[in-house]
Structure 1
Amino acid sequence: MGHWNVQHISDALDSLGWIGHIGGALLVLVQTLVPFIPFIVVAGVNVLLFGFWTGFIVNYVFACLGAVIAYWVAKNLGRTWVQRKLAKYSYLDKFNEKLKRYGLWFIAGSRIIPVLPSFAINLGAAVMKVRTRHFIIGTLIGKAPMVFMESLIGHDLLHFGQHKGRLLVLLILLAVMLAVGSYYKKKWTRAEPVGKSGKKV
């Protein structure tokens, strides 16, 4: 995350007053719908723009709102397109099996341990017709720790001299979570053994 770029974007938005603050919030919404840049960059912008706690709340609320909008649109308007979009994820069948079985809690867990990209969770839940209530609650639970962590990492990267120790701990924790997500992704993409009867075991 380039310090100058984040600082520049934050300063530019701040110079616009309340319009810029709305722009910072909408930036999170757009990033959630169309992930054109890493979320941590947007999180850093808003932490600078609003201060840490308000920035975290803005990041969290609009990330959740963006996820719900993506889910609703995919569920009601773009089902065929979504199925084509998700076809490239070979492990999605396993994800869908667990989504059917565990619903709300699997959505929450997948938000915390990044097995799938966030937008794929939104679209996959829509295709599998997960109940809206379950999707929203699972998203609210699961996004809170990750958005908090990414907001804090963004903050500490921008104030590196003051928070080197904490930043190191956060980066190690994030690396562990990514490694766990990668492990399950590989596990789900491996072909299941076939028994003599021809059935998967």
Structure 2
Amino acid sequence: MKEWLNPNNIVELAQHYKSLGPFLGLLLPFIESFLPFLPLVAFVLANAGAYGLWYGFLLSWAGTVVGSYAVFLIVRKYGRNRLLNFLTKSARIQKLIKWVERNGFGPLFLFICFPFTPSALVNLVAGLSDMKKKNYLVTLMAGKFVMIFMISYIGSDIKALFTDPIRTAIVVVVIFLLWIIGKQLERRLNAKVEADFRATAASREEK
């Protein structure tokens, strides 16, 4: 374990990753969009460490945007198919769809900005909603830009993370704060969805 945590070994591993070519750096974030249990943060850090801040950022950003938008398009086309109608049966999904249709860009942008919020759920809900394709693409590109750049900046100097304790502490604090903020945002979103749903139900009963 100590050998793997050695800064020189980390840098050497990043160089080996780089030698595999930029296609892998593009492919891994793309695949993560379809398999959300994969560690997107780790892929972005690896790209930034291997290719540098800007090139690594572009590879990660392009891969995750294309992958997420592909998931959105697939759900948009086949999500209401009989074979996939289980996607729309969930009461939570139905509430989220209606909420997204009413609120649009702003909430989705904030949701996508944070690396620890369920982006797969966002792609699913957006795909099942009536949100325009162009609007979602713009939202996705903007939100992922912020998220991927934050992670890429942290990972652009991997060696410093192991040799500079102050930088390491700052990185740990930033990641923890992003996780906390993302979870708070998710809770508030769920609360707003429930409140809107109850208000809509109450107004229908009054009519």
TM-score, reference length from structure 2: 0.74
Determine the C-alpha separation between the residues in 1 that align with 2:136 and 2:32.
19
The one of the two structures with greater contact order (alpha-carbon pairs below 8 A, sep at least 6) is: 2
Q: What is the CA RMSD across the aligned residues, in angstroms?
A: 3.6
Structure-to-structure mapping, 1:68-79, within 5 angstroms: 68-79=69-80
Q: 1:98 to 1:47 in 2, by over 3 A?
A: same
Letter in 2 for 1:173: L
Q: 1:41 to 1:196 in 2, by over 3 A?
A: closer
Determine the C-alpha separation between the residues in 2 that align with 1:55 and 1:115.
20
Residue in structure 2 matched with residue 84 of structure 1 by the alignment: 86
Residue in structure 1 matched with residue 18 of structure 2 by the alignment: 14
Higher helix share: 2
What is the Cα deviation at residue 10 of structure 1?
4.0
Q: Tell me if the contact between 2:15 and 2:50 (Cα under 8 Å) persists in the aligned partners.
A: yes
Determine the C-alpha separation between the residues in 1 that align with 2:102 and 2:203.
26
1:175-195 CA deviation, whole Å, 9 max, x = no partner?
3322322422552568959x9
Q: Tell me if the contact between 1:153 and 1:171 (Cα under 8 Å) persists in the aligned partners.
A: no
Which shows bigger deviation, 71-80 or 55-64?
71-80
Which shows bigger deviation, 170-179 or 49-58?
170-179
Corresponding residue SS for 1:79: coil
Determine the C-alpha separation between the residues in 1 that align with 2:15 and 2:132.
41
| Structure of greater Rg | 2
1:64-105 CA deviation, whole Å, 9 max, x = no partner?
1111111111112343355424655x5333322221112233
Q: Tell me if the contact between 1:86 and 1:120 (Cα under 8 Å) persists in the aligned partners.
A: no
Structure 1: state its 5+ residue gaps.
none
What is the Cα deviation at residue 167 of structure 1?
0.8
Residue in structure 1 matched with residue 180 of structure 2 by the alignment: 176
Letter in 2 for 1:13: Y
Residue in structure 1 matched with residue 126 of structure 2 by the alignment: 125
Determine the C-alpha separation between the residues in 2 that align with 1:149 and 1:82.
35
Q: Tell me if the contact between 2:101 and 2:130 (Cα under 8 Å) persists in the aligned partners.
A: no
Which shows bigger deviation, 29-38 or 63-72?
29-38
1:151 maps to 2:152: yes
Aligned residues: 195
1:32 maps to 2:33: yes
